[in-house]
Chain A
Amino acid sequence: MSFSAGFLEAIVWASLVWCAVSATGLGVMLVRDAKKGSIW
């Protein structure tokens, strides 16, 4: 039994999109912390 092409496609694309969303989220969080004066 082998992993299907559809499964491989799904995990590859999902991981790349997830990384992009994470980078955006971190930027947003930093701006929010900066506005509250609570970066560190």
Chain B
Amino acid sequence: MTERTIFLDPTLGWILLAAFSVLWVGLGFYWGRRNKSFEDHALAGRNIGLALGSATAAATWITSNTTMLAPQFALELGVWGMLAYSTASLGLFLFAPLAVRIRKLMPHGYTSGDFFRLRYGRVAWAIFLVFTLFYSLTWLVSMAMAGGILLEALAGIDYVWGMSVILGVCVLYTMRGGLGAVIGTDFIQTLIILIGIVIVGFAVLSQVSVGEIHAELTAHKPALLDVLFPAAIMAIFNNLLFGLGEVFHNNVWWSRAFAFRDGVGGKAFLIGGFIWLPIPVAAGFIALASGALGVAIPSSDMVAPLVIAQVLGTAGAVGIFIIVFCSLASSIDSLLAATADLVTEDIWRRLIRPGSSAEHLKGAAQWVTLGLGLLTWALCAPRIGTLATVLFFAGPLVGAMIFPIITGLYWRRANTIAAVGGMVLGAGAGLVTYFTIGWFVATTVATAVSCAWVLGACAMSKSRFEWIRLKEDA
């Protein structure tokens, strides 16, 4: 095992961890006082304004995978790796019109599961739930693991302890404050992340120029500058489609479309996309600087904290600690809230206790949040796989859901056979590709197969859906 340098005194690491934990939990409890019903808890009263809406769209998409995996991409796939990661912002841009459409078609909706149930029926709904819950857990696990890895790399805090604290804090304030607390903290976290990335970026550039980075790469790693780097070019399409699939299907984004005030959703997702777009490059280029700075990288998934901490010493270690802690919290809380609401609405309310009161549902959502947190912890504790491997395993599943959602929202011919076939065949083909070729083409294959089936089945269909059926009352 490689001996690792600790950049942050463990005591300082614990103090930072405690300070931010108290802040987020305190805000969650404070904002949670307003929640009286499931609608308040799950959708923040459906009244979120533009500033908070834009920030939460960006913050939720700025995961630890953005701040840690983007540098890893840059280190392994070069310039194209950063640019490929940036294409994930298209998910937010293209979801903007969908958010407007969702709010118009489903003014009383709660979850993306509601859409599948009402639009395509129970079989498609069940497949959707399996896919989305697998994806959401994968995302949660990858972020909680990243948190543990970061604390261990920077401050020598044991992986299991660090992961447990970050996850526990998010569970606490999400349970108590619901989506309102998640969105409120997202705003603060977005500002901290953006300012932190700017400070760290300029600090790295004060140590080494872009010209020096380019010269070192040309001499020692020319493939990272190659315009025709095949794996990286395939990764662009894969990331683009993965991003689209993630945003289009997941309740994290649908819950926000339902929670934003009328007229806010489209603008908020558009602005959120513009906020997110430059972050993979701003965070990723520091990995390209590792060679010019003479930083040894024992493990590529830790390149960002290693470079920053080595270049900037304790201040840099504190900076990356805060940036990644905020990145983790802003996504873990959103996923916990949205997935708990999905389970509460789609499983508890629709299948187990149809007559539950609004107050009872709020309590159920809080218990589900706790259960999800415990399950995530149990999956993270053994520390299996690298970040990229864990995350991209879900790519084919989300890619296969893109076309059933788009056609279901805009095309009256879209039907159950098209949706079910698209999801099953697309995901199957994508998973076969994942294991036989690699993650970097799996989502592309899944999306292409799903697209072909869905469009073909819709074109041949004689059925015409009545949009009014989506306006189900709560």
Question: In the complex, are the beta carbons of B279 and A3 less than 8 A apart?
Answer: no
Question: In the complex, are the beta carbons of A26 and B54 less than 8 A apart?
Answer: yes
Out of B44, B47, B79, name the residue touching A3 (CB < 8 Å): B79
Question: In the complex, are the beta carbons of B214 and A8 less than 8 A apart?
Answer: yes
Taken residue by residue from 39 to 63, chain B's Cβ proximity to chain A (1 for < 8 Å, 0 otherwise) reads as 0000011011111101100100000
Taken residue by residue from 270 to 298, chain B's Cβ proximity to chain A (1 for < 8 Å, 0 otherwise) reads as 01001101110110010010000000000
Question: In the complex, are the beta carbons of B274 and A15 less than 8 A apart?
Answer: no
Q: Which residue on chain A has the smallest CB distance to residue B197?
A: A19
Q: Does any Cβ of A come within 8 Å of B23's Cβ?
A: no
When chains A and B are docked, how far (Å) is the Cα of A30 from the Cα of B52?
7
Question: In the complex, are the beta carbons of A2 and B226 less than 8 A apart?
Answer: yes
Q: Given A26-B55, A40-B47, A18–B278 Cβ distance below 8 Å?
A: yes
Question: In the complex, are the beta carbons of B49 and A33 less than 8 A apart?
Answer: yes
- Separation in Å of the A15 CB from the closest CB of chain B? 4
> Which residues B200-229 have CB closer than 8 A to chain A?
201-202, 205, 210-211, 213-215, 218, 222, 225-228
When chains A and B are docked, how far (Å) is the Cα of A29 from the Cα of B288?
34
Question: In the complex, are the beta carbons of A15 and B281 less than 8 A apart?
Answer: yes
Q: Does any Cβ of A come within 8 Å of B123's Cβ?
A: no
Q: Which residue on chain B has the smallest CB distance to residue A22?
A: B275
Q: Tell me what chain B mostly uses at the interface: helix, strand, loop, or mixed.
A: helix
Q: Does any Cβ of A come within 8 Å of B180's Cβ?
A: yes
Question: In the complex, are the beta carbons of A26 and B211 less than 8 A apart?
Answer: no
Question: In the complex, are the beta carbons of B52 and A39 less than 8 A apart?
Answer: yes
Out of B47, B48, B281, name the residue touching A12 (CB < 8 Å): B281
Question: In the complex, are the beta carbons of B210 and A23 less than 8 A apart?
Answer: no
Question: In the complex, are the beta carbons of B225 and A30 less than 8 A apart?
Answer: no
Q: Does any Cβ of A come within 8 Å of B378's Cβ?
A: no
> Which residues A3-22 have CB closer than 8 A to chain B?
3-5, 7-9, 11-16, 18-20, 22
Residues of chain B within 8 A (CB-CB) of A27 are 191
Residues of chain B within 8 A (CB-CB) of A33 are 49-52
Question: In the complex, are the beta carbons of A2 and B197 less than 8 A apart?
Answer: no
Residues of chain A within 8 A (CB-CB) of B228 are 1
When chains A and B are docked, how far (Å) is the Cα of A16 from the Cα of B184?
25
Out of A9, A12, A13, A23, name the residue touching B195 (CB < 8 Å): A23
Question: In the complex, are the beta carbons of A38 and B54 less than 8 A apart?
Answer: no
Taken residue by residue from 245 to 283, chain B's Cβ proximity to chain A (1 for < 8 Å, 0 otherwise) reads as 000000000000000010000000001001101110110
Residues of chain A within 8 A (CB-CB) of B45 are 40
When chains A and B are docked, how far (Å) is the Cα of A26 from the Cα of B52?
8
When chains A and B are docked, how far (Å) is the Cα of A29 from the Cα of B281?
25
Question: In the complex, are the beta carbons of B191 and A12 less than 8 A apart?
Answer: no
Question: In the complex, are the beta carbons of B50 and A29 less than 8 A apart?
Answer: yes
Question: In the complex, are the beta carbons of A39 and B49 less than 8 A apart?
Answer: yes
> Which residues B79-104 have CB closer than 8 A to chain A?
79, 82-83
Residue contacts A-B, CB under 8 angstroms, 26 given = A2-B225, A5-B210, A5-B215, A8-B210, A8-B213, A8-B285, A9-B214, A11-B83, A11-B285, A12-B285, A15-B278, A16-B201, A16-B205, A16-B282, A19-B198, A19-B278, A19-B279, A20-B195, A22-B274, A25-B271, A26-B51, A29-B54, A38-B261, A39-B51, A40-B48, A40-B184
List B residues at the A interface (Cβ < 8 Å).
44-45, 47-52, 54-55, 58, 79, 82-83, 180, 183-184, 187, 190-191, 194-195, 197-198, 201-202, 205, 210-211, 213-215, 218, 222, 225-228, 261, 271, 274-275, 277-279, 281-282, 285, 288
- Pick the 7 closest A-B CB pairs, nearest first: A15-B278, A29-B51, A5-B214, A15-B281, A23-B194, A18-B278, A30-B51
